[in-house]
Amino acid sequence: MKMRGAKILLESLKREGVEVMFGIPGGAIIHVFDDLYDDPDIRFIHVRHEQAAAHAADGYARATGKVGVAIATSGPGATNLVTGIATAYMDSIPIVTITGQVPTYLMGNDAFQEVDFIGITRPICKHSYLIRSASEVAQIVKQAFYIAKTGRPGPVIIDFPKDAQTDEAVFEYPERVEIRGYKPTYEGHPKQIAKAAELINNAKRPVILAGGGVIASEAWEELRRFAIKTGIPVTTTLMGLGSFPETHPLSLKMLGMHGTRYANYAVSNCDLLICIGARFDDRVTGKVDKFAPEAKIIHIDIDPSSIGKTVAADVPIVGDAKRILRELIKLVKPLDIQPWIKQIEEWKRKYPLTYKQSSDRVKPQFVIEQIYEATRGEAVIVTDVGQHQMWAAQFYQHTKPRHFLSSGGLGTMGYGFPAAIGAQVGCPDKLIFVISGDGSFQMNMQELSTVVMYNLPVKVAIINNSYLGMVRQWQELFFNRRYSAVYFKFNPDFAKLAQTFGIKGIRVERPEQVRPAIDEAIDTNGPVVIDFIVDSEENVFPMVPAGAPLEEMIGGMA
């Protein structure tokens, strides 16, 4: 039976288990939307900006573990997706974006709303496809989803010209996919695993560093078993938050530029660092040649290009974290490292995360703590980027995987609110809490219309300090308080703004109002925006200055 290319696309998406897409229609993708009109099996979430569509697909993917799908038209519709695609690429998130394109016979002629989207996105996607006929659609969709979710996950582009949408072909969906040159390694080399086990069994001051790869491979249970069997303390990257419960005695919480002092001290003084699914980002390492200077390095990662790129590995193991940890658990033994554990406990006692309370001004850290207490750690926390992001990482106790969603590698302001929409659509029974800043929220606040349209009960906590807070902090500490272009003199009243959309808006100006506002938001059956007016010059501490070793932290001491 012959079908139009547009119909084949939708049928192929359903074969991949797609239940929802995020996006905006347009002329170059109109035939797909025409067929979508009669299709009851794919839900379409009509966002208000294409960047929000990409972030929503990303949030959906992070929260559910499935592949997120965003769809847009050609030209500006496609280019508006770029920031969201780059965000997913940097954090290894599996999304597929589908963009309309001008007819193939007009390509290269500067036709109306034509851009070379394949060329534009080549550096920020895992792979890309240009469909030229309806007969290619099913095979391309099969390959796109396979590439997006296997190996190191990432975004895949499908550019779909109008004539290929109307062209007809017989629909036959392939049962399997074979791509020459793309064979991800899943099983770790047995000799390398044995070498790693030997180093672990002889270590006296070991530390585990868990990254986003632990969550991508769903290896959190294996990580917990491995850490508990050996007794090795665990620190995580920002992307790894939730892979190991921070309420566990072995947790060191997050390391790096705004990590805990005890995590940074532990890594700086360990004799063995077991890195699992992390790529040694500069925010994690600080000054590279002073990073874990006394340690042997075991580096486990499914992407061979990540191993040795920044920090040399003594024992590299290429493969899937879940499978490799299962093998390591068989070979390792409980370690006699009590002096090391006592040293870490002393650092924890001496250098806890702290801040100065206030009786009349709302402290942002207090807001985060109260959200944690009110949600009992069960909420999915979605952040934007900036000071509030780091406070959310520090002062919310992260105990579950896929419950902390944030833009790490690209650091995308405007990510949080639309990503929370995707998470709420994917996890309708979970409490989704956005922690945003006044600067970040204004980058995609048009999506208030989306949460109203689909009655998505997302709760938004705006940490409103009237500044681009992280930039202001750097200007205070390193640029003699020359506050250049960071002050938001004319912020809206976000609570009243929410009310104009028919959303409950709450304004909080005093500490005693914080917990009642959070409780009211949780008890409200629908979306809520809470505008927390916080201390405008509060800083995020500890902080490792750019280019400094991890041990040279400033601030954050009682």
Q: Which residues are catalytic?
A: 50, 112-113, 162, 470
For residues 262 and 542, give the distance between their C-alpha atoms in angstroms, rounded to a whole number: 11
**Is the bond preceding 542 in cis, omega lying within 30 degrees of 0?**
yes
Report residue 303 as tokens: 């992407």
- Residue 139 to residue 161: CA distance in whole angstroms: 16
Please check whether residue 261 is in contact with residue 553, taking contact to mean a CB–CB distance below 8 angstroms: yes
Q: How far apart are CA 425 and CA 37, in angstroms?
A: 20
DSSP letters along 187-227, please?
SPPHHHHHHHHHHHHT-SSEEEEE-HHHHHTT-HHHHHHHH
First to last CA, the chain: 72
531, 517 Cβ separation under 8 angstroms: no
Angstrom distance (rounded) from CA 120 to CA 488 = 33
SS3 category, 329: helix
Residue 446: other Cβ atoms inside 10 A: 15
Q: Which residues pair with 508 in a beta bridge?
A: 532
Structure token pair of residue 457: 């009960």
Greatest Cα pair distance, the chain, in angstroms, is 72
By the 10 Å C-beta count (0-12 exposed, 13-18 middle, 19+ buried), 154 is classed as: buried
What is the spatial distance between Cα 299 and Cα 78, in angstroms, rounded to a whole number?
Answer: 37
Cα–Cα distance, 102 to 162 (Å, whole number): 6
Amino acid at 234: V
Question: Nearest 5°: CA angle at 57, between 519 and 151?
Answer: 120
